């Protein structure tokens, strides 16, 4: 089933408190400073249309939720949903997730991370673009606080099994635990999950807890290089 192009936000909807461009931020950046309240921050990699963020911000008001989305139209759509709800604890960044975790977020700055249905990059020559790679997960461990949780969901069993091995190799997380289906309201967590489950396809889910082992990546790279945003073909 082809994806529908995201709707443009209403022209009169103010996104200034819910949408930022990653390249306009300087690192290292304490993510709590992006919000009006300095509560614990959880990060979603790839917001899509924003179903998880809108649900999480409403159900867990004592936490801040930061999303990162490489596709501008989807990032703005997710931000517009937060703005429409006047959610003060949700914000979307437009940019590259690898850049965010590598150069912008400091050590132990996140209270949780969510990676739902990442692009599997099917072609062999594109596999290196998979976000759940060793470098990303080392930085994920670096920026996550001890005891925080990493949630990984995908509809690609091969990618799921690969991710389990890579997470384990970081030595920064405990053993994977199974995570039940459904979102915070016991329905669906993302639009992609809803579409996948309604089609009768399987979803593989796991949650990992950050241990107390010091990360191998102890600090950010001093100089942030220029980069261009790339996204998967639609």
Residues acting as catalytic residues: 119
Closest CA to 193 of 113, 84, 69, 184: 184
Rounded Cα–Cα distance for residues 107 and 42 (Å): 14
Q: Rounded to the nearest 10 degrees, how much is the dihedral formed by the CA atoms of 225, 44, 120, 155?
A: 170
Tokens of 168: 């384990």
Tokens of 129: 């673009």
Rounded Cα–Cα distance for residues 65 and 63 (Å): 7
Within a 13 Å sphere around the CA of 166, how many CA atoms are in the beta-carbon half? Answer: 19
């Amino acid at each position: 089933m082809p994806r529908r192009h995201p709707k443009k936000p209403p022209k009169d909807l103010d996104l200034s408190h819910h949408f930022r461009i990653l390249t306009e931020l300087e690192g290292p950046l304490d993510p709590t400073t992006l919000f009006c309240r300095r509560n614990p921050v959880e990060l979603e990699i790839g917001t899509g249309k924003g179903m998880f963020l809108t649900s999480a911000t409403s159900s867990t008001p004592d936490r801040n939720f930061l999303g990162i989305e490489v596709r501008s139209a989807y990032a703005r759509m997710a931000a517009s949903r937060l703005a429409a709800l006047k959610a003060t604890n949700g914000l979307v960044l437009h940019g590259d997730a690898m850049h965010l975790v590598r150069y912008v977020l400091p050590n132990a700055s996140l209270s949780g991370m969510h990676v739902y249905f990442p692009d599997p990059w099917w072609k062999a020559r594109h596999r290196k673009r998979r976000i759940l790679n060793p470098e990303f997960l080392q930085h994920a461990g670096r920026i996550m606080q001890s005891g925080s949780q990493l949630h990984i969901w995908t509809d690609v069993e091969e990618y799921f099994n690969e991710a389990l091995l890579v997470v384990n190799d970081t030595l920064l997380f405990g053993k994977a635990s199974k995570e039940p289906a459904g979102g915070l309201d016991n329905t669906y967590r993302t639009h992609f999950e809803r579409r996948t489950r309604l089609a009768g396809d399987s979803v593989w889910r796991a949650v990992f807890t950050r241990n107390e082992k010091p990360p191998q990546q102890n600090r950010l790279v001093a100089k942030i290089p220029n980069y261009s945003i790339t996204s998967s073909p639609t």
